[in-house]
Structure 1
């Protein structure tokens, strides 16, 4: 019998892990981390291994997931795999359909540095923006590659769409950063004219 004290509310990470299990496969904690790195990290966050294992324990206590140990080759540690239960599928479906959708909260390190640009040298600000542009390009490229892998998996039709969104988001972030580089140059010119 499930422990009612662990039923709800789950933290967002718990719903994310349960959502990964909702695709119907038995997955180890390692598999869940790999899947989250190929999908969740583009638009939410990819939980750490410790967060994943903590949530798996919580999901089992709630009756939303079950696990079993699978024997591995000699000399290799057995692994535990997890599967969503019917009750877990019902819970995550209800959460996806009924829970309010939180608006995104922008926590943007480069923007915070830009806001404090008066405390930096123009070259430092430029370097922050150049690194961010490279990051955005890298995330764009990874989203494209992961979307390619997801395309052949019928169960991943909607995750593939989120990867397309991530691809477009990081392309726009890259382009916004390039425009901001020009704006910073113009602002640096205005402040040096006053000096």
Structure 2
């Protein structure tokens, strides 16, 4: 039976892992890591293997998952696979429907560097934004590829929509970095055109 006190204290990582199991598959810790890398990392974060395994232990103790050992080929270690229980499905459904939705917390490294742009050389700032453009485009392409590979799986209809959101989000990040590069150039031109006495103040 599920431990009722655990429902109130489960961290977001637990709900994310339980959510991955809610699609009905029996999954190993390795499978859960692979699935999170193909979905969660685009809009939340991808838990490490150690986080996944610690959360699986917590969820099993709470009665929200069950596990069993599966024999592997000769010479390969048996693996443990996990399945969501009825209590786990009830709990994650209740959490998804009723728990308050936290607003996004923006921790934007390039934006922080831009804020401190007066401490950097202009070329350093351009480099930071250029790298962010490249990163955003790579993430956009990964989201597109993962959405295409998930679209034939009916159970993944909503995760596929989140991948489309991720595609649009990273496209906007790429375009925002390009716009900031233009803004930096405009700022540099404006400063160059100021009278010498103004630039000294």
TM-score by length of 1: 0.97
The residue matched to 2:82 in structure 1 has which SS?
strand
Give, in whole Å, the separation in 1 of the partners of 2:6 and 2:69.
23
CA deviation after TM superposition for structure 1 residue 46, in Å:
0.4
The 2-side partners of 1:177 and 1:23 are apart by: 36
Aligned to 1:64: 64
Distance 2:121 2:191 in 1: 11
Asked whether the 8 Å contact 1:66–1:84 carries over to 2, the reply is yes
How far the C-alpha of 1:85 sits from its partner, in A, is: 0.3
**2:144/2:164 contact within 8 Å kept:** yes
Partner of 2:137: 137
Q: Could you list the per-position Cα deviations for residues 46-79 of structure 1 after superposition, in whole angstroms to 9, with x for gaps in the alignment?
A: 0000110010000000000010010111111111
State the Cα deviation string for residues 102-143 of structure 1 (Å, max 9, x = none): 010110000000000000000000000000000000000000
2:101 maps to 101
Q: For structure 1, which segment, 4-13 or 72-81, has the greater mean C-alpha deviation from structure 2 after superposition?
A: 4-13
The answer on 1:85 being equivalent to 2:70 is no
RMSD of aligned residue pairs (Cα, Å): 1.1
Aligned to 2:196: none
Match of 1:111 in 2: 111
Contact 2:72–2:79 at 8 Å: present in 1 too?
yes
Distance in 2 (CA, whole Å) between partners of 1:151 and 1:122 is 43
| Consecutive unaligned residues in structure 2, runs of 5 or more | 194-198
Structure of higher CA gyration radius: 2
Deviations 1:72-96 (A, max 9, x none): 1111111100000000000000000
Listed as ranges, the gaps of 5+ residues in structure 1 are none
Taking the aligned partners of 1:47 and 1:190, their CA distance within structure 2 comes to: 45
SS in 2 for 1:83: strand
What's 1:121 paired with? Answer: 121
Count of aligned residue pairs for this structure pair:
195
Write the distance in 1 (CA, Å) between the matches of 2:84 and 2:192: 61
> What residue number does 1:188 align with?
188
Q: Equivalent residue for 2:36?
A: 36
